Chains A and B, each alone.
Chain A
Amino acid sequence: MGVTRRDFMKLAATSAAGAVVFAGCSIPEQEFIVQSPVRIPEDVLAGDENWYATVCRQCPAGCGVIVRVMEGRAKKIEGNPDHPLNRGKLCARGLAGVQLLYHPDRVARPLIRTGDRGRAEFRAASWDEALRELTQRLQNLIGQQAGNTAVIITGPLTGYRAEVVRRFARALGADHFQLTTPDETVVRTAQRRAFGSEFLVDFALEQASYVLSFGADFLGTWLSPVRYSRGYGEFRQGRPGRRGTLVHIDPRFSTTAASADEWVPVKPGSEGLLALSIAHVLVSENLANPAAVQAITAGAGPAAFNPFRPELVSEATGVEADRIREIARAFGRTRPAVAIAGGAAGAHTNGTFNLLAAYALNYLVGSVGVGQPVRLVARPPYGNVPYTPNPATVSQWQALISRLDTGRPRPVQLLILFDADTVYHLKYLGFEKVVGKAGYIVSFATLLDDTAAYADLVLPAHTYLEDWGDEVTDPAPSYPVIGFQQPIVNPFYDSRSFFDVLLTLARSVGGPLQRELPWPNLREAVRDGARQLYQSGRGSVQAVDFEAFWNGVLQRGGWWDTAAAVTAVPTPPNLPTEPPVARFQGDAREYPLALIPFEPIGVGSGGPLAGLPWLQAVPEPTTTMVWQTWAEIGPETARRLGLSEGDVVAVESPVGRIEVPVYVNFAMPSGVVGVPFGRGQRHYGRYAQGRGANVLEILAPLTDEDSGALAYAATRVRLVRTGQRVRVIKYEGAVPPYGLERERPVEVTRG
């Protein structure tokens, strides 16, 4: 067949096959565009990167981050190497921040409700229309002397962000509630008692040789996991010839348990008793500081610990007497030793006691104070603003729910929400049943959350990468740290800062609101704080004038004062002579399993984190599960109930049921079931919607007696087979293991 060049060209040009052959090799049309931007700031060069420092807001820890920006677009988030909390390290949540910025389902413009409450049906509106409406409603409330019928609910706030909201609420006469995790509330209460400081203490693991951890999953999600992981790395490998020992006490095999030299599965709620028994061994074998013993026992002396002899508590804690003695001796003889506590240990009706008893061990071995691994943090010279968040207790939420329901003692005519998805996080109180009774609901949202679905007005809020802000870092790394947050990119959508909107409203409403809130925007408020740091003349940034100082703190991502130290050693706390016993909801025969909900590393306790696909896909380290909620049981429980991986079970508590697949974890003790928090949202965009189940739905509202926080591990459950089976989504088994582990890496010696 003779094909001339001309014939071939004809064939290629006219036939479908020719079109396919050439189209496959061509370059997408958009790559043939070179854009002349309207303006180029001096510090922006096309193709060159700029890095800006700011504060991470993906959890309350307040790590410093730097963001790579090219042509005005945020590309990558990394840890800020200058920031003393995380020193250049960052966790998966922090890295996923760009997905929040570019989320395809972000609230892009103001929305006004058109459908029934909860149905999330809206029409788009302009900011002018939205603010007119809101100003009108505020003026009406003030005109009717009914400012106190407004309620503001936010996430945990510190510094000038907290101050703006506090003053707004005060001028209006409104209540301001902060929604945070129950764990943080218990830990704050217990540490305030144990160490007498308004701030949380720093557990400097890098200084320790022995760490005894009660329930605190500090390598996973607890408080400030990047700071602790950094300390842990030093503790294990940073000191040649000296490898620290970690013993973790936890009913569930968590990330921290998996990293420990020894894991002690304890009966849920008996952690405080175990701590007292360890104290008994320290005292009776002369391993404890006598002065601390006197203080802790309120002068009663060593005899006060007699009821906690290992043999006497062995049954209640589920730990053999000999093992308690071994742990206590190692803890008492290895200096410096640290006892750290939180998480599941505080999630009981005796949560504060459990943590307090564990913290008291630090005094017995002299680990509290300057140069020791447990350090108090000094107060920064940052002005008269809230330095720590003020989380609401369960009873405060219950009062608000009753107020919404009955309109007594006064109705809720205006409900303002920011970064607080009460419908999701207060599922155990049935908040969704009463939220619709509020007069008018305004929600500031980045992703449409489950509460925003009930709102009359949804306002697009900036993400933290577009907003100003500050953070009184707590827990801080041994010395005070103020993080400064700056917009690192222009707003991606038509969003605004929640705080700026409050300030704008205050100006347009006038009266006491305007007098209380003198700042034009949040930036000016934060600059007021920075000015106080500048005037103190202390800390990491020294400058000739305030503007240079301001540039300095923004460039470094914050201010810190390494010289500020608390030299006074606090007085040890008194421990109760009659330790409170954990109470559970649900009869042990009818509901034989103790439910331990836990925060998985990726989506955490929920919120916008669940909306980010990178975080949905972060494997929970001990199970490697992704994108779903599951029930984690041990092999013995699985055998008894005839369950295997993938069986869908109903987890039934006295107050509710959820259906989830089973994962059999060989390290899970019998009698315990673990279910992760963080999923089961109705909204939050395409990646979270309708995925998994919300374990808060089946929790009974029992509280820790001292802090008033939810005792989230105090509900007993049973597992009921549904007959369905699914293939669980997990990383385990998907990739063959490296050929390194010739021996069995983990030996399970206890059922």
Chain B
Amino acid sequence: MRALPNRIRRVILIGGGLVLVLIPLAILGVVIVSAAGLPPAFLRPQVTQPIAFPHNTHVQAARLDCTFCHRNVTTGDAATVPAVEQCMFCHQVVATDRPEIQKLISYWQQNQPINWNRVHRLPDHVHFVHSLHIQRGFACSTCHGAVENVGKEGVQQVRPLKMGDCVNCHRENNGPTDCGVCHY
């Protein structure tokens, strides 16, 4: 093999060295940060939503059940967010003078979907089936926290919702822990 020019060798040595040092450091960093009780690394920073939707108003004041809007949660994999049309069933008449409701009306009139920013996102390669968990009697708040108290600041994730979290809960509740239960 012909010797490489010195300049390139230097670049490879330094670059390789940096990679070798930085990757363990990065992993170490995540561990340290988590252990120190800082905001957990798995949480996304608080996200703003296209419409400041207050869950508390709908649950506490309007007394709606979760399934009134997340209507697929008892029957399917995804809980699903409601269609704009469903919001409009009430908001054609309710609180139409509020600025946030007017945003909603404008989506409806322009025939545009609302792109909400996702708060809960499970890792790739895992299937989570909402309906089975609800049928076993778990409350929405077990995973999602007290959403009914959250106002216009927006919902935030309260649990890691990673594999360790899932497996712990499955063990505590005698749930199955075979790989194929979630990874299929």
CB <8 Å contact, B26 and A32: no
Q: Does B116 contact A (CB under 8 A)?
A: yes
CB <8 Å contact, A39 and B36: no
Task: Known contacts A21-B23, A45-B80, A47-B76; decide if A32 and B29 are in contact (CB<8 Å).
Answer: no
Q: Does B139 contact A (CB under 8 A)?
A: no
CB 8 Å contact bits of A1-31 with B (1 = contact, 0 = none): 0010100110110000110011000010001
A27 and B118 CA atoms in complex are apart in Å by 12
Contact residues of A between 22 and 69, Cβ < 8 Å to B:
22, 27, 31-40, 45-48
Q: Does B153 contact A (CB under 8 A)?
A: no
CB <8 Å contact, B83 and A33: no
Q: Does B12 contact A (CB under 8 A)?
A: no
CB <8 Å contact, B76 and A48: yes
CB <8 Å contact, B72 and A47: yes
Interface SS majority for chain B = mixed
Tally of contacts, chain A with chain B, CB under 8 A: 88
CB 8 Å contact bits of B1-28 with A (1 = contact, 0 = none): 0000000000000000011001101101
A39 and B85 CA atoms in complex are apart in Å by 5
Contacts of A31 on B, CB cut-off 8 Å?
118, 121
Question: Could you say which of B54-62, B90-98, B107-115 contacts chain A?
Answer: B107-115
A5 and B41 CA atoms in complex are apart in Å by 14
CB <8 Å contact, A46 and B114: no
CB <8 Å contact, B84 and A32: no
The chain A residue sitting closest to B114, CB to CB, is A36
CB <8 Å contact, A38 and B84: yes
Interface SS majority for chain A = mixed
CB <8 Å contact, B118 and A36: no
Nearest CB of chain A from residue B119's CB, rounded to whole Å? 9
A5 and B78 CA atoms in complex are apart in Å by 39
Contact residues of B between 65 and 96, Cβ < 8 Å to A:
72, 75-78, 80-87
Contacts of B44 on A, CB cut-off 8 Å?
32
A697 and B83 CA atoms in complex are apart in Å by 55
Task: Known contacts A5-B32, A45-B72; decide if A38 and B113 are in contact (CB<8 Å).
Answer: yes
Task: Known contacts A5-B32, A5-B36, A47-B76; decide if A27 and B121 are in contact (CB<8 Å).
Answer: yes
A17 and B26 CA atoms in complex are apart in Å by 10
Task: Known contacts A5-B36, A38-B113; decide if A47 and B80 are in contact (CB<8 Å).
Answer: yes
Contacts of B117 on A, CB cut-off 8 Å?
32-34
A38 and B32 CA atoms in complex are apart in Å by 45
Q: Does B33 contact A (CB under 8 A)?
A: yes
Contacts of B47 on A, CB cut-off 8 Å?
32
Contacts of A37 on B, CB cut-off 8 Å?
83-84, 113
Nearest CB of chain A from residue B57's CB, rounded to whole Å? 18
CB <8 Å contact, A45 and B121: no
A333 and B184 CA atoms in complex are apart in Å by 54
Contact of A38 among B26, B77, B83, B121 (CB under 8 A): B83
Nearest CB of chain B from residue A239's CB, rounded to whole Å? 37
Task: Known contacts A33-B116, A45-B75, A47-B72; decide if A18 and B26 are in contact (CB<8 Å).
Answer: yes
CB <8 Å contact, A35 and B78: no
Contacts of A40 on B, CB cut-off 8 Å?
82-83, 85-86
Nearest CB of chain A from residue B27's CB, rounded to whole Å? 9
Nearest CB of chain B from residue A146's CB, rounded to whole Å? 44
CB <8 Å contact, A35 and B114: yes
CB <8 Å contact, B121 and A32: yes
Nearest CB of chain B from residue A504's CB, rounded to whole Å? 24
CB <8 Å contact, A47 and B84: no
CB <8 Å contact, A36 and B82: yes
Contacts of B76 on A, CB cut-off 8 Å?
45-48
CB <8 Å contact, B116 and A46: no
Task: Known contacts A8-B29, A12-B26, A21-B23; decide if A39 and B118 are in contact (CB<8 Å).
Answer: no
CB <8 Å contact, B29 and A5: yes
Known contacts A8-B28, A39-B85, A46-B80; 4 additional CB pairs below 8 A are A5-B32, A37-B84, A46-B78, A47-B77
Which residues of B are at the interface with A, using a C-beta cutoff of 8 A?
18-19, 22-23, 25-26, 28-29, 32-33, 36, 44, 47, 72, 75-78, 80-87, 107-108, 111-118, 121
Closest 10 CB pairs of A and B: A47-B78, A40-B83, A36-B114, A46-B80, A32-B118, A39-B85, A34-B116, A21-B26, A47-B77, A38-B84
11 A-B pairs with CB atoms under 8 Å apart are: A5-B33, A8-B25, A9-B33, A17-B19, A27-B121, A32-B44, A32-B117, A33-B118, A38-B108, A39-B83, A40-B85
